[in-house]
Amino acid sequence: MLKKRYARDGSTCTVSFIIQPEQATGVVTASVSGDFNNWSRTATPMKRTPEGGFEARVKLDAGKEFHFRYLLDDSRWDNDWHADKYAQSLFRDAENSVVIV
């Protein structure tokens, strides 16, 4: 799930990347990786929410699209079930989630 909060001047948007509890069942650690952090596995760790999911906030430039995926337990890649859209990954036979800001 994605929540977006735009700056007053509209130049940036803080995106909350949220893994819902039902997607996080049995997951111990999660991070969000995307073209906004050079697909780093460690640059954007997610925090556990009281409901049992995970969340991370990232400030992004408005007017762009960003590809991303979730890395669960340092071993499993998963998409956001509520992404704005999906796009073919260039590096593997899979799709990336896309957030449009």
DSSP state of 49: P
**Amino acid at position 72, single letter:** L
pLDDT recorded at residue 90: 80
d(CA 3, CA 90): 26
How do the pLDDT tens digits run along the chain, 101 residues long? 999 999 999 999 999 999 999 999 999 999 999 999 999 999 999 999 999 999 999 999 999 999 999 999 999 999 998 999 999 988 777 899 999 99
**CATH number, domain containing residue 94:** 2.60.40.10
pLDDT recorded at residue 91: 73
d(CA 53, CA 28): 10
pTM metric for this prediction: 0.92
pLDDT recorded at residue 19: 96
Domain range for 84 is 2-100
pLDDT recorded at residue 99: 98
User: How many domains does the chain fold into?
Assistant: 1
Both tokens of 13, joined, read 């948007």
